[in-house]
């Protein structure tokens, strides 16, 4: 996105350096997803557009009636007790798109009050900085943070006042997840252990896990578990996980209910030039004539499952639970990343942290994904290079 920097990077790129990068990344764990050959270079004006859109959403989240507005977002049977007043973190996903006059602009794709690759992105940026020449005056960190202050903020967010052994990273079979490398990076930087929900031990209102061969009290949970994914698990896993819905003496980072409150469900309540117009399907007065400009999404799904890109009237009319679907104006990704063959599209995810004593959350870091297919995702980029997971560096 910055022509001179892009040309200099591409000209200095070698497959040997890329293979060395991948080898270093794999030293923690085998990579379960493709790593793109390049970062994304973001000029200051585009960074400011991204952050302006994020801040407008934060304003909506700060509304005094926000919890009331989003109560229906939490699926029946998946509400967890002792919800916090606010989420600890939020992730905002933007596509890089072309506006009507041809200038580049961000358009919100979705958002979640849920962790993402908070630790792995540090490891990834370190590796790129080591093996490739990145431009002066650009950083992957935001709000004036650097590597050290970002890790300090991450540590305070997740651990708060607890010792590392009193905090766990909770997932369903964490070592089998595609994002397991992030769990190991989290353990490397913070000292907390990834724990499967099936390994939890409940005594009264307290939870325990086995740490260094010893039963250890859990005081705080760094939650990486998508609760509606529990519904897809075998009965014995669901039975083990049922304790999470009981009255427990633990705190959450973030509390699971916020995953639903700040999500696709929130989009119809927000109006902003960089946020596509979105409707709950059950509130449509009439089906738009230009359906080719819209995408149909289920509210309660993960990783793009169930999304209908080429929408027809029949798709909408045949929905049995229209209150659980949104119709969102489609965004047109711009092919902006010049690569050795065809140009790539990109999506940027901005990380926000919300420390316990802060009035507002603030931006801290990011990830990026590159694609040459119809959508962002592995299945749309088979056998294509210069695609996959990456990060953006922003002009300071």
d(CA 98, CA 39): 20
d(CA 234, CA 176): 15
| pLDDT exceeds 70 at position 142 | yes
Q: What is the pLDDT of residue 104?
A: 93
Q: What is the pLDDT of residue 19?
A: 97
Residue 183: CB partners within 8 Å, gap ≥ 6? 169, 171, 174, 175, 177, 194, 224
d(CA 170, CA 245): 14
Q: What is the pLDDT of residue 284?
A: 93
Q: What is the mean pLDDT of residues 64-72?
A: 93
Structure tokens at 361: 């959350």
Residue 242: CB partners within 8 Å, gap ≥ 6? none
Q: What is the mean pLDDT of residues 9-37?
A: 95
Q: What is the mean pLDDT of residues 330-352?
A: 94
Q: What is the mean pLDDT of residues 142-165?
A: 97
Q: What is the mean pLDDT of residues 298-313?
A: 81
SS3 for the chain is CCHHHHHHHHHHCCHHHHHHHHHHHCCCCCCCCCECCCCEEECHHHHHHHHHHHHHHHHHHCCCCHHHHCHHHCCCCCCCCCCCCCCCEEEEEEEEEECCCCCEEEEEEEEECCCCCCCHHHHHHHHHHHHCCCCCCEECCCCCCCHHHHHHHHHHHHHCCCCHHHEEEEECCHHHCCCHHHHHHHHHHHCCEEEEHHHCEEECCEEEEEECCEEEEECEEEECCCHHHHHHCCHHHHHHHHHHHCCCCCEEECCCHHHHHCCHHHHHHCCECCECCEEEHHHCCCCCCCHHHEEEEECCCCCCCCCECCCCHHHHHCCCCHHHEEEEECCCECCCECCCCCCEEEEEEEEEECCCCCCCCEEEEEEEEEECCCCCCHHHCCCCCCCEEECEEEEC
Task: Calculate the CA dihedral of residues 203, 204, 207, 210 and round it to 10 degrees.
Answer: -10
| pLDDT exceeds 60 at position 303 | no
Q: What is the mean pLDDT of residues 33-40?
A: 96
d(CA 119, CA 190): 9
Q: Which of 147, 90, 17 is nearest to 350 (CA)?
A: 90
Q: What is the pLDDT of residue 201?
A: 98
Q: What is the pLDDT of residue 302?
A: 59
> pLDDT confidence of 138, banded at 50, 70, 90?
very high
> pLDDT confidence of 106, banded at 50, 70, 90?
very high
Q: What is the mean pLDDT of residues 88-115?
A: 93
Q: What is the pLDDT of residue 101?
A: 85
Q: What is the pLDDT of residue 306?
A: 85
> pLDDT confidence of 304, banded at 50, 70, 90?
low
Q: Which of 340, 341, 284 is nearest to 313 (CA)?
A: 284
| pLDDT exceeds 70 at position 307 | yes
Q: What is the mean pLDDT of residues 166-187?
A: 97
Q: What is the pLDDT of residue 141?
A: 98
| pLDDT exceeds 60 at position 385 | yes
Task: Kindly report the average pLDDT of the chain as a whole number.
Answer: 94
Q: Which of 106, 170, 131, 100 is nearest to 27 (CA)?
A: 131
d(CA 253, CA 201): 19
Q: What is the pLDDT of residue 1?
A: 74
Per cent of the chain over pLDDT 90 is: 85
Domains of the chain listed by start with CATH number:
1-141+259-276+331-396 (no CATH), 160-253 (3.40.50.1760)
Which of 39-48, 68-77, 201-210, 250-259 shows the lowest per-residue confidence on average (mean pLDDT)?
68-77
Q: What is the pLDDT of residue 257?
A: 97
| pLDDT exceeds 70 at position 349 | yes
Terminal alpha carbon distance of the chain:
15
Q: Which of 302, 353, 334 is nearest to 107 (CA)?
A: 334
């Amino acid at each position: 996105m910055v022509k001179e920097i892009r040309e200099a990077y591409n000209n200095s790129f070698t497959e040997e350096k890329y293979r060395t990068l991948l080898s270093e990344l794999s030293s923690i764990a085998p990579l379960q997803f493709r790593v793109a050959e390049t970062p994304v270079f973001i000029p200051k004006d585009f960074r400011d557009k991204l952050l302006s859109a994020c801040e407008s959403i934060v304003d909506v989240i700060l509304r005094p009636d926000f919890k009331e507005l989003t109560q229906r977002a939490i699926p029946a049977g998946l509400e967890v007790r002792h919800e916090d007043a606010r989420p600890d973190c939020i992730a905002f996903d933007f596509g890089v798109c072309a506006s009507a006059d041809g200038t580049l602009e961000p358009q919100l794709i979705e958002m979640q009050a849920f962790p993402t690759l908070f630790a792995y992105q540090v490891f990834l940026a370190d590796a790129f900085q080591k093996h490739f020449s990145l431009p002066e005056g650009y950083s992957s960190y935001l709000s004036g943070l650097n590597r050290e202050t970002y890790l300090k903020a991450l540590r305070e967010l997740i651990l708060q006042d607890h010792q590392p052994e009193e905090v766990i990273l909770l997932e369903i079979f964490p070592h089998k997840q595609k994002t397991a490398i992030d769990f190991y990076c989290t353990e490397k930087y913070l000292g907390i252990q990834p724990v499967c929900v099936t390994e939890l031990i409940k005594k009264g209102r307290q939870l325990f896990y086995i740490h260094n061969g010893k039963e250890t009290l859990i005081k705080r949970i760094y939650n990486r578990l998508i609760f509606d994914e529990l519904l897809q698990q075998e009965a014995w896993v669901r039975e083990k996980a049922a304790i999470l819905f009981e009255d427990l003496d633990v705190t959450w980072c973030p509390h699971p209910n916020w995953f639903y409150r700040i999500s696709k469900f929130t989009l119809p309540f927000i109006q902003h030039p960089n946020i596509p117009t979105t409707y709950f399907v059950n509130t449509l007065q009439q089906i738009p004539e230009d359906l080719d400009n819209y995408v149909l999404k289920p509210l309660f799904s993960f990783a793009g499952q169930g999304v209908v890109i080429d929408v027809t009237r029949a798709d909408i009319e045949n929905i049995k639970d229209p209150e659980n679907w949104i119709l969102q104006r489609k965004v047109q990704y711009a092919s902006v990343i010049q690569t050795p063959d065809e140009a790539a599209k990109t999506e940027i995810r901005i990380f926000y942290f919300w420390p316990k004593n802060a009035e507002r959350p603030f931006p801290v870091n990011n990830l990026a994904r590159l694609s040459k297919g119809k959508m962002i995702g592995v299945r749309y980029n088979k056998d294509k290079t210069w695609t996959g997971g990456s990060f953006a560096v922003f002009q300071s």
